[in-house]
Amino acid sequence: MGLHYSHHKHCLTHHQSPININTRTAKYNPSLKPLKFSYDPKTAKRIVNVGHCFNVEFEDICDKSVLSEGPLDGHYRLCQFHFHWGSSDRDGSEHNIDGHLYPAELHIVHWNSKKYTSFAEAAKHPDGVAVVGVFLKLGNTNPALQSIIENLDKVKTKGKACPFTEFHLNGLLPEDLNYWTYMGSLTTKPYFECVTWIILQEAITVSSQQLEQFRRLQCTSENENPSFILENHRPVQPLDHRVVYSSCP
Ligand code: SG6
Ligand code: ZN
């Protein structure tokens, strides 16, 4: 008798991110609550060039800036946000919507401070991390984004950081806070399956010139031959048996 390899294959779970979101098969879940963003501008700390993108870091030693409600149980503490973009304005987002890519995607990263004591610990658990994804579509210069972009000159090369305080992160959120949600992973190494993804349905705008500034950042250190961060988005992963829920019908 042969072994049932196909059975074995189905036992492995693959809850990786990003995914393509099919808006017609996403399931409306009336028990999903509206999201509650409580961000304190004072917790913004610094911008760091991490080589494959730049992170805007927040002080996360206490629950001053938190995300709660929505699909979440308890509150999740804000620790950083970053963007994914592409080598041209035609692609760049990680999540796809009905096979369509946006030119960029903002990820606002939070960790479960009710259950865990640090991001590193939280990332080892399926309920450890919550990431809010916001799509960027081509349009007018985004003023909230401009204050970040004006600082990118100071973090041109890998490893550089500059202070960045008093930032109103709410300015990067769209008006309509309806969302899709599903369980997935970090989109970079170590790809831990620890993320409750919350993808906002309404996009914010970015200008082509602003996207160009992202691509001027270098993935190389100061003393190396310059090479640029032209793109940093992971391709979509299989949905498998997962369900994507929508907060609105
Ligand atoms: C970016 O995404 C960040 C990096 C890491 C990664 O590359 O620069 O800090 O973030 C939370 C974390 O480890 C994965 O985060 S993501 O899944 O939201 N894209
Ligand atoms: Zn990301």
- Interface ipTM above 0.90: yes
- Give the list of residues 6+ apart from residue 88 with CB closer than 8 angstroms, or none: none
What number does the ligand 1 atom closest to the CA of 234 have? 19
pTM of the model: 0.95
Torsion of Cα atoms, 77 then 113 then 93 then 139, to 10°: -10
Q: What are phi and psi of 82, to 5 degrees?
A: -155, 175
Q: What's residue 12's pLDDT? A: 53
Q: Over the range 89-109, which residues count as b (16 or more CB within 10 Å of their CB) and which as e?
A: bebbbbbbbeeebbbbbbbbb
Q: What's residue 13's pLDDT? A: 60
pLDDT in tens, 184-235: 999 999 999 999 999 999 999 999 999 999 999 999 999 999 999 999 999 9
Name the residue at shortest CA distance from atom 6 of ligand 1: 188
- Residue 49 Cα to ligand 2 midpoint, Å, equals 14
**Ranges of the chain with pLDDT below 70:** 1-13
Q: What's residue 14's pLDDT? A: 87
Q: Is the CB of 186 under 6 A from ligand 1?
A: yes
Q: Is the CB of 106 under 6 A from ligand 1?
A: no
The CA distance from 159 to 207, in Å, is: 27
Tell me which residue of 159, 166, 157 sits closest to 45, measured CA to CA: 166
The CA distance from 204 to 211, in Å, is: 13
Q: Is the CB of 82 under 6 A from ligand 1?
A: yes
Name the residue at shortest CA distance from atom 11 of ligand 1: 109
Assess whether 52 carries a catalytic annotation: yes
Smallest-distance ligand from the CA of 186? 1
Q: What's residue 7's pLDDT? A: 40
The CA distance from 121 to 33, in Å, is: 27
Q: What's residue 111's pLDDT? A: 98
Q: Is the CB of 107 under 6 A from ligand 1?
A: yes
Q: What's residue 5's pLDDT? A: 37
Beta bridge partners of 85: 104
